[in-house]
Amino acid sequence: MNLQRMLEAIDANKARLDATRPLSPPALASLQQRLRLEWTPDANATEHHARSLREAQVVLDNLKIGDKSLRQHCETMGRPNAMRYIEEIIASNEPISTWQIRNIHNAVLKRRVGEEACRYRHVNVAIADARTTPPDFLDLPAELAALVEWHAGAGHMHPIERAAELHARFVRIHPFVDGNGRTGRLLLNIELMKSSYPPAVIRDEDRAAYCDSLDDACASNNYAGIARLIAESVLRSFDLYFDALGLAVDQGPSWAPR
């Protein structure tokens, strides 16, 4: 199935999931249990905000950074408030900013290089096996500002394509000494969840294809490949959601081999 048909399938699934929202406490409990099994290693504005926050908390609790959940990781790194910050970004649909990117990086960076948290790299780097070289460190403020400006004008894009391109553009910039991959994947999933889509979880067996798709996007400025890979992952997440919520998984024409 081509990307356009995959996006149509995703939107049909999202409409189906939206019809069940806000998720009831039993549904949230079932979803949390299912996510823990699947993702191990590896009315008014205020009311809407609270409901969105509850769902975001359940999903974020089960996203992994290494062998820990995102919440466990933040607590281990001595940043327990970081998780709340990420939840609030999603629930309030806060626009992306360079300040936000640096705070997300701070949430995932390991303590051993804590002095680098939130700071752009101050050296030039090369990425092994990549066809592109990240920009000069002196250009990083301008590059990140351009990324934010691009995103502000990308509201016309499908959320899946926008999230995939945001992810690839960030990875190409490689603004930090360490933690760029983790920060980029968290940016990707925050972007998806702000639009009420399930997160994209890259499986171990998809790691090579993921890296190749990212490299292609960075080298060619063609984001169709990485968008397709992210779309496939989101479709798998919809199946997981529907199974956890007791909704029949669509067994119609397959969008990809299962």
Residue 41, pLDDT score: 39
**CB 58, CB 32: distance < 8 Å:** yes
Is 133 marked as a binding-site residue? no
Straight-line distance from the first to the last Cα atom of the chain, in angstroms, rounded to the nearest whole number: 13
| Among the listed residues 255, 120, 104, the one whose alpha carbon sits nearest the alpha carbon of residue 184 | 104
- Per the structure, the complete domain to which residue 235 belongs is given by 3-244
**What pLDDT, in 10s, does the model give residues 138-171?**
999 999 999 999 999 999 999 999 999 999 999 9
Active-site residue list = 174
Residue 115, pLDDT score: 55
Is 246 marked as a binding-site residue? no
Neighbours of 142 (CB within 10 A): 10
User: Is 250 inside a domain boundary?
Assistant: no
User: Is 58 inside a domain boundary?
Assistant: yes
User: Is 251 inside a domain boundary?
Assistant: no
What's the CATH code of the domain at 45? 1.10.3290.10
Is 180 marked as a binding-site residue? yes
- Residue 135, burial from CB neighbour count under 10 angstroms (0-12, 13-18, 19+): middle
Is 182 marked as a binding-site residue? yes
Number of structural domains the chain divides into: 1
- The dihedral of CA 18, 40, 189, 215: what is its sign? negative
Cut 0.85: pTM above it? no
Distance separating alpha carbons of residues 170 and 145, to the nearest angstrom: 11
